[in-house]
């Protein structure tokens, strides 16, 4: 059992690897991005509050995402939690540390997924997701075997994200470098950081993460 953070810019492959870890190790993915998108899809008050912010590629408030994570962590996770897209600011990192302490849990590893900005535009603009099971695909690097049909669940409701365009990606990257990348130093100083090459093939990235976890 391990609790880990996947840290990296938009399109680094956090969601793709989180799904692999769920299948391989029985871990539970906690993606604040997915929780917020679900709120938008359901038309809740929270969804209405964050929709414009997310469409512009900016971060929503720390209070909102800390509340979402706190609520989900109450359910526990036998195989451990994978924090995907959280924390994204130092305030969120502090809050996570306090939540862990309160639960008597530990943060075992922070895995930085290193990529070049140059590949991110292609990754993000080519991404689509199964609206039924959430499996992540890509037009060229990971298409479905049968066009329009999910390999995993057979669903045909494929979705593209409103913020997956070149213009919004620029803002998302700026937010990452300004507010999230300081977490690399924060966790390095605590001795909790490991880096993997996120430019490698999906299977190789998964192997590199597995090797980090096996040593944790």
The residues that bridge with 29 in the sheet, in sequence order, are: 82
Strand partners, 111: 6, 194
- Residues 54-113 binding ligand AP5 (CB under 6 A) are 54, 57-60, 65, 85-86, 88, 92
Q: Closest separation between CB of residue 137 and ligand AP5, Å? A: 6
Burial code (b: 16+ CB inside 10 Å, e: under 16) for 94-112 equals: ebbeebeeeeebebbbbbb
123 is catalytic: no
Q: Rounded distance, CA 35 to CA 48, Å?
A: 13
Rounded CA-CA distance 60/203 in Å is 32
Q: Please pick, from the candidates 2, 4, 7, 16, the single residue that binds ligand AP5 as defined by CB under 6 A.
A: 16
Q: Which of 5, 14, 150, 183 binds ligand AP5 (CB under 6 A)?
A: 14
Indicate if 56 belongs to the active site. Answer: no
> Can residue 196 be called a binding residue for ligand AP5 (CB under 6 A)?
no
- The window from 38-46, 71-79, 135-143, 184-192 that contacts ligand AP5 (CB under 6 A) reads 135-143
Q: Is 53 a residue that touches ligand AP5 (CB under 6 A)? A: yes
Using CB atoms within 10 A of its CB, is residue 48 exposed (0-12), middle (13-18) or buried (19+)? exposed
Closer residue to ligand AP5 in complex, CB, 141/211: 141
Is 29 a binder of ligand AP5 (CB under 6 A)? no
4 binds ligand AP5 (CB under 6 A): no
Our CB check for ligand AP5 shows the closer of 191 and 202 to be 202
Positions marked active-site: 14, 88, 127, 161, 172
Could you list the residues that contact ligand AP5 (CB under 6 A)?
Answer: 8, 10-16, 31-33, 36, 53-54, 57-60, 65, 85-86, 88, 92, 123-124, 126-127, 136-138, 141-142, 172, 201-202, 205
């Amino acid at each position: 059992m391990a609790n880990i953070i996947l840290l990296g810019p938009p399109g680094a492959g956090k969601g793709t690897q989180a799904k692999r870890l769920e299948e391989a190790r029985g871990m539970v993915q906690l993606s604040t991005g997915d929780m917020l998108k679900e709120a938008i899809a359901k038309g809740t008050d929270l969804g209405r509050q964050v929709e414009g912010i997310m469409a512009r590629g900016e971060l929503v408030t720390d209070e909102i995402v800390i509340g979402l994570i706190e609520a989900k962590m109450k359910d526990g996770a036998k195989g451990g939690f994978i924090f995907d897209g959280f924390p994204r600011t130092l305030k969120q990192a502090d809050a996570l540390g306090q939540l862990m302490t309160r639960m008597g849990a530990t943060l075992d590893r922070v895995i930085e997924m290193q990529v070049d900005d140059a590949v991110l535009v292609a990754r993000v603009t080519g991404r689509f997701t199964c609206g039924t099971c959430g499996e992540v695909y890509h037009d060229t690097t990971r298409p479905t075997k049968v066009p329009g049909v999910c390999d995993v669940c057979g669903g045909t409701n494929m979705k593209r994200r409103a913020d997956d365009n070149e213009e919004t990606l620029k803002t998302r990257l700026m937010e990452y470098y300004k507010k999230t990348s300081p977490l690399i130093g924060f966790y390095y100083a605590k001795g909790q950081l490991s880096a993997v090459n996120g430019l490698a093939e999906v299977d190789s990235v998964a192997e590199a993460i597995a090797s980090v976890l096996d040593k944790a």
